[in-house]
Amino acid sequence: MSLPPLPDSALNLGAQARDWKHAVMLAGKALETSGAVTAEYAKRMVRVVEEFGAYIVIAPGLALAHARPGPDVHAEGLAVVTLADPVPFGHPHNDPVSVVIGLAVCTPEEHVAGVAALANAFNDSSTIDALAGATTPDEVRRILGIPEQVTS
């Protein structure tokens, strides 16, 4: 499986976040704006962190915000939020976070495949810093290996 499409509407570059909850909500809003999810999905992503902790901070500076498939997911979706000022999520080794990836999937199988595809995109240790410094949607897509597309 390749990564889902990444329309311009699913990107928020150089965002300001007050804290980790706000950063996750920004990723949820980007997924919502792209049409992949409803507003409820962002709230569920926050609850996942509240319940299970900062395990979504999967590498230094990188959080993978997501929740289980549910009725608030309309389509598989990907969002990228870069933060002007990194925020702590409470992870003992990988804080603070400067890049939040939002992932929405419709089935458990898509979840596993989506996480695997993202893991491949981040095999190169320079990817997180490159994303954090990206200034255009096309640059983000190039870094992640997502083909250019008609943007929304």
DSSP per position, 106-121: SSHHHHHHHHHHHHHH
Mean pLDDT of the chain: 91
Considering the candidates 66, 74, 91, 111, report the single residue annotated as catalytic: 66
Residue closest to 14 by CA, chosen among 131, 144, 92 = 131
Choice among 3-7, 32-36, 124-128 with the minimum mean pLDDT: 3-7
Cross-strand pairs, 78: 103
Q: Is the dihedral of CA 22, 26, 28, 29 positive or negative?
A: positive
**For residue 123, pLDDT beyond 90:** no
Structure tokens at 81: 């939020």
Task: Note whether 137 and 82 are within 8 A (CB).
Answer: no
Q: Does residue 28 carry a pLDDT above 70?
A: yes
Catalytic residue status for 66? yes
Residue 85 or residue 125, greater confidence? 85
pLDDT tens digits, one per residue of 74-92: 999 999 999 999 999 999 9
1 vs 107 pLDDT, higher one: 107
